[in-house]
Amino acid sequence: MFFFVILVLLSCTEAEGLQHVFLLHGKDLQLDIKKSVVLDKKTDLFWKFNETNNVAKCGFNNDPVVFDKYEGRAEVFGQNYSLLLKNVQHSDSGDYTAVVSGEKDQKVAEYKAIIQDPVSPVNLTVDSVSSSSDSCNLIVTCSTVDSQISSIFTCDAQNCSLVEKGSFKAKTYTSNLVVYLQQSFIICNHSNQVSMEQTKKDIKLYCKEKPGISICVVKTVVFSVGLIIMVIAVISVHIMEKIKKRK
């Protein structure tokens, strides 16, 4: 496919403090603490979900403890207490914080996790074609297979433009539906932050190229005309010489 967008299963937008993480439903979520964390006898580290739900606890010289709700699904590992949450579900979307708790609480990592489904496949249909001497316009509809999203575009030989944008009935994710031209193909692309589906049609099947004079024909005509002129010139010279001899 002629497409230059690379999608990954996990994408992270880093900023000062809170970081947004997009992850495909069913994959494993790893959250790291980038600040150096050193625990002592008076401090513990907690991974929390939505501020109040404890996921795991790490203590000084003790093995990490995973709380009942996450037992079997969560792990804390590494020298800096990274959290691994396996087989994430939509209910796992939310805020995750790592807190060092002692005399005072200190946040050392903050994430907002957004769990998304893969986007559905798309259909691209050509509804009508209108041609004139200098243009060819198509009305195309790009829609998801389950009819959640539908948009109508008009295309000519150079680009596609939006005519009518249908309603988005997204379930648990936000997705984008785009139609564009690339080389001679109309491409319908449906994507979100973790997946992409695409289909395409060749515009040449609907907008026929107007017949024109080929370079080969032009060369043949020019050569033929030149040859005729040369023959006429030779004959004319020959006739003129004969006339001179008679005189």
Q: What is the pLDDT of residues 8-58, one digit of tens each?
A: 334 444 435 799 999 999 999 999 999 999 999 999 999 999 999 999 999
Res 97 pLDDT > 50: yes
**DSSP 8-state assignment for residue 184:** T
Whole-angstrom distance, CA of residue 143 vs CA of residue 15: 35
- pLDDT for 99-117, tens place per residue? 999 989 999 999 999 999 9
Cβ(147)–Cβ(218) below 8 Å: no
pLDDT at 50: 96
pLDDT at 76: 95
How does strand 105-116 pair with strand 19-24? Answer: parallel
| Start and end residues for every CATH 2.60.40.10 domain found in the chain | 10-116
CA distances from 118 to 44, 66, 115, 190, 211 (A): 38, 30, 10, 10, 45
Cβ(10)–Cβ(102) below 8 Å: no
> Can you say whether the dihedral through the CA atoms of 35, 17, 45, 64 is positive or negative?
negative
Q: Which residue has the higher pLDDT, 122 or 221?
A: 122
Has domain 10-116 been given CATH number 2.60.40.10? yes
pLDDT at 94: 97
Show Cβ contacts of residue 2 under 8 Å, excluding neighbours closer than 6 positions: 182, 183, 185, 187, 200
Give Cα 187 to chain centroid, integer Å.
12
Whole-angstrom distance, CA of residue 118 vs CA of residue 175: 10
How does strand 185-191 pair with strand 176-182? Answer: antiparallel
pLDDT at 7: 37
- pLDDT for 183-233, tens place per residue? 788 888 999 999 999 999 988 888 766 555 555 555 676 677 777 888 787
How does strand 160-165 pair with strand 176-182? Answer: unpaired
pLDDT at 147: 59
- pLDDT for 136-193, tens place per residue? 777 888 888 765 555 666 766 677 776 766 555 544 447 888 888 887 888 889 999 9
Count of CB atoms situated within 10 Å of the CB of 104: 7
pLDDT at 25: 96
Helix (H, G, I), strand (E, B) or coil at 149: coil
Task: Name the nearest CA neighbour of 36 among 103, 102, 108.
Answer: 108
Res 131 pLDDT > 60: yes
Q: Which residue has the higher pLDDT, 158 or 59?
A: 59
Q: How confident is the model at residue 82 (pLDDT cuts 50, 70, 90)?
A: very high
Whole-angstrom distance, CA of residue 120 vs CA of residue 89: 18
Cβ(214)–Cβ(222) below 8 Å: no
* Most distant CA atoms of the chain, gap in Å: 132
Q: How confident is the model at residue 129 (pLDDT cuts 50, 70, 90)?
A: confident
pLDDT at 161: 74
pLDDT at 209: 61
Whole-angstrom distance, CA of residue 175 vs CA of residue 98: 30
Res 84 pLDDT > 90: yes
